[in-house]
Amino acid sequence: MIRVGIAGAAGYTAGELIRILVNHPAVELKYAQSESHKGEPIASVHSDLIYLPLSFADIDFEDIDVLFICMGHGNSAKFLAENLVPESVKIIDLSNDFRLKADAGEFVYGAPELNREKIRAARCVANPGCFATSINLALLPLAVAGLLPEEVTVTGITGSTGAGQKPTQDTHFSNRSANLSNYKVFTHQHLGEIGETVVAAGGAETTDIAFVPVRGCHTRGIMSDVVVRLDASLEQITEIYKNYYAEHPFVCVSDKPVYMKQVVNTNYCFLSLQKEGRKLLITSVVDNLLKGASGQAVQNMNLMFGLDEMEGLRLKANYF
Amino acid sequence: MIRVGIAGAAGYTAGELIRILVNHPAVELKYAQSESHKGEPIASVHSDLIYLPLSFADIDFEDIDVLFICMGHGNSAKFLAENLVPESVKIIDLSNDFRLKADAGEFVYGAPELNREKIRAARCVANPGCFATSINLALLPLAVAGLLPEEVTVTGITGSTGAGQKPTQDTHFSNRSANLSNYKVFTHQHLGEIGETVVAAGGAETTDIAFVPVRGCHTRGIMSDVVVRLDASLEQITEIYKNYYAEHPFVCVSDKPVYMKQVVNTNYCFLSLQKEGRKLLITSVVDNLLKGASGQAVQNMNLMFGLDEMEGLRLKANYF
Amino acid sequence: MIRVGIAGAAGYTAGELIRILVNHPAVELKYAQSESHKGEPIASVHSDLIYLPLSFADIDFEDIDVLFICMGHGNSAKFLAENLVPESVKIIDLSNDFRLKADAGEFVYGAPELNREKIRAARCVANPGCFATSINLALLPLAVAGLLPEEVTVTGITGSTGAGQKPTQDTHFSNRSANLSNYKVFTHQHLGEIGETVVAAGGAETTDIAFVPVRGCHTRGIMSDVVVRLDASLEQITEIYKNYYAEHPFVCVSDKPVYMKQVVNTNYCFLSLQKEGRKLLITSVVDNLLKGASGQAVQNMNLMFGLDEMEGLRLKANYF
Amino acid sequence: MIRVGIAGAAGYTAGELIRILVNHPAVELKYAQSESHKGEPIASVHSDLIYLPLSFADIDFEDIDVLFICMGHGNSAKFLAENLVPESVKIIDLSNDFRLKADAGEFVYGAPELNREKIRAARCVANPGCFATSINLALLPLAVAGLLPEEVTVTGITGSTGAGQKPTQDTHFSNRSANLSNYKVFTHQHLGEIGETVVAAGGAETTDIAFVPVRGCHTRGIMSDVVVRLDASLEQITEIYKNYYAEHPFVCVSDKPVYMKQVVNTNYCFLSLQKEGRKLLITSVVDNLLKGASGQAVQNMNLMFGLDEMEGLRLKANYF
Least Cα distance to B286 among B136, B174, B125, B151 occurs for: B136
At A43-89, the pLDDT tens digits run 999 999 999 999 999 999 999 999 999 999 999 999 999 999 999 99
The predicted pLDDT at position A303 comes to 98
Task: Tell me the pLDDT band of B162, cut-offs 50, 70 and 90.
Answer: very high
Residues D42 and D40: their CA atoms lie apart, in Å, by 6
Q: Mind listing the pLDDT tens digit for each residue in B148-159?
A: 999 999 999 999
Report if residue B146 sits inside a domain. Answer: yes
HSE-CB at A32 with a 13 A cutoff on CA atoms is: 30
What's the pLDDT score for residue D159?
98
Find the mean pLDDT for residues B10-24: 98
CB contact under 8 A, A185 and D281: yes
Question: Does residue B294 sit in helix, strand or coil?
Answer: helix
Q: What is the mean pLDDT of residues C87-113?
A: 98
Same domain, A229 and A278: yes
CA distance B23 to B25: 6
Assess D218–C contact: CB distance below 8 Å, yes or no.
Answer: yes
pLDDT for the residue C188: 98
Predicted confidence at residue A264, as pLDDT, reads: 98
- Residue D185 maps to a domain: yes
- Whichever domain contains D73, its CATH number is 3.40.50.720
Q: Kindly report the nearest CA distance between residue C164 and chain A, in angstroms.
A: 12
Mean pLDDT of chain C: 98
| pLDDT score recorded for residue A179 | 98
CB contacts of D47 in chain C (<8 Å) are none
B261 contacts in chain D (CB < 8 Å): 48
Chain B closest CA to A319's CA: distance in Å? 14
Shared domain for C39 and C182, answered yes or no, is no
Residues B278, B139 within the same domain: yes
Catalytically active residues of A are: 130
Q: At what angle do helices D294-304 and D12-21 cross, to 10 degrees?
A: 50
What domain count does chain B have? 2
Query: Nearest residue of B to residue D316 by CA position?
Result: B19
**Per-residue model confidence (pLDDT) at position A266:** 98
Whether chain C has a CB inside 8 Å of the CB on B231: the answer is: no
CB-based burial label for A312 (10 Å; 0-12, 13-18, 19+)? buried
Looking at the structure, do residues B190 and B56 belong to the same domain, yes or no? Answer: no
Given a cut of 70, the residues of chain D with pLDDT beneath it are: none
Q: What is the pLDDT of residues B74-130, one digit of tens each?
A: 999 999 999 999 999 999 999 999 999 999 999 999 999 999 999 999 999 999 999
Examine residue D319 and state whether it is found in any structural domain, yes or no.
no
| C209, β-bridge pairs | C152
A135: in domain = yes
| CB contact set of A195 (below 8 Å; sequence gap of 6+) | A207, A209
**Pair A221, A286: CB distance under 8 Å:** yes
The verdict on C28 and C92 lying in the same domain is yes
> Is B66 in contact with B5 (CB distance < 8 Å)?
yes
- Decide: helix, strand or coil at residue D259: strand
- Confidence (pLDDT) at C105: 97
Give yes or no for A84 touching D (CB within 8 A). Answer: no
User: In this structure, are residues B159 and B220 in contact, taking their beta carbons and an 8 Å threshold?
Assistant: yes
pLDDT at B284: 98
User: If you write DSSP's letter for every residue of A220-258 in order, what string do you get?
Assistant: S-EEEEEEEE--S-HHHHHHHHHHHHTT-TTEEE-SS--
Q: Specify whether the CB–CB gap between B70 and B94 falls below 8 A.
A: yes
Describe the strand order of the beta sheet including D222-229 as a list of residue ranges. D181-182, D208-215, D151-158, D222-229, D279-286, D269-276, D251-253
Residues 6+ apart with CB under 8 A from C84: none
Tell me the pLDDT band of A281, cut-offs 50, 70 and 90: very high
Structural domain including D91 reads 2-127+293-304
Same domain membership, residue D119 and residue D104? yes
Rounded CA-CA distance C137/A232 in Å is: 60
Determine contact, residues B251/B295, Cβ cutoff 8 Å.
no
Q: Among residues B316, B274, B273, which one has the least CA distance to residue B295?
A: B316
pLDDT of residue A206: 97
| B60-69: average pLDDT | 96
Chain A CB contacts of B159 below 8 Å? 174
Q: How many CB atoms lie within 10 A of CB C150?
A: 12
- With an 8 Å Cβ cutoff, is A262 touching chain C? yes
Are D214 and A157 in contact by the 8 Å Cβ rule? The answer is yes
In a domain, D34, yes or no: yes
Active-site annotation holder among C130, C217, C252, C269: C130
Residues A36 and A150 in one domain: no
Q: How far apart are CA C34 and CA D223, in angstroms?
A: 40
Q: What is the mean pLDDT of residues C170-186?
A: 98
A181 in reach of chain D (CB within 8 A): yes
* Same-domain check for residues C204 and C187: yes
CATH classification at residue B221: 3.30.360.10
What percent of chain A stands above pLDDT 70?
100
Across chain B, what does the average pLDDT equal? Answer: 98
Q: Is A173 within 8 Å of B173 when comparing Cβ atoms?
A: yes
Q: Are C69 and C92 in contact (CB under 8 A)?
A: yes
Judgement on whether residues D29 and D112 belong to the same structural domain of the protein: yes
Angle at CA of residue C197, ends C195 and C198, nearest 5°: 65
In a domain, D151, yes or no: yes
Instruction: Tell me whether residues A227 and D153 touch, CB distance under 8 A.
Output: yes
The band of B45, judged by pLDDT with boundaries at 50, 70 and 90, is very high
Find the helix or strand (DSSP H, E) in which B208 lies: strand B208-215
D166 plus D53 within the same structural domain: no
How high is the pLDDT of residue C230?
98
D248 in helix, strand or coil? coil
Name the phi and psi angles at C102, rounded to 5: -65, -25
Could you tell me if B69 and B94 are in contact, meaning their C-beta atoms sit under 8 angstroms apart? yes
The total number of residues shown for chain B amounts to 320
C86 touches chain B (CB under 8 A): no
pLDDT of A192 reads 98
For C22-29, what is the mean pLDDT?
A: 98
Cα gap D297→C155, rounded to integer Å: 43
For B233-248, what is the mean pLDDT? 98
Residue C40 has a pLDDT of: 98
Determine the distance in angstroms separating the CA of C101 from the nearest CA of chain A, rounded to an integer: 33
Amino acid identity of residue A141, one-letter, is P
Percentage of chain C exceeding pLDDT 70: 100
Handedness of CA A58, A62, A63, A65 (dihedral sign): positive
- Nearest-5° angle of CA A27, CA A31, CA A32? 110
C259 shares a domain with C222: yes
Interface contact flag, C48 A289, Cβ < 8 Å:
no
**Mean pLDDT computed over A111-134:** 98
**Which chains form contacts with chain D, at 3 or more CB pairs under 8 Å?**
A, B, C
Among the listed residues C112, C117, C119, C118, the one whose alpha carbon sits nearest the alpha carbon of residue C133: C112
Closest CA to C287 of C162, C148, C180, C186: C162
Q: How far is it, in rounded angstroms, from Cα A215 to Cα A224?
A: 12
pLDDT at residue D260, rounded to an integer: 98
Determine, yes or no, domain membership for C76: yes
Helix, strand or coil, per DSSP, at residue B221: coil
- C318 lies in a domain? no
The pLDDT assigned to C132 comes to 98
> For residues D75 and D83, what is the distance between their CA atoms, to the nearest angstrom?
12
Q: Give yes or no: residues C298 and C261 share one domain.
A: no
SS3 of D5, please? strand
By C-alpha distance, which of B206, B195, B80 is closest to B139? B195
B chain contacts of residue D23, beta-carbon cutoff 8 Å: 314, 316
- pLDDT recorded at residue B140: 98
pLDDT confidence band for A222 (50 / 70 / 90): very high
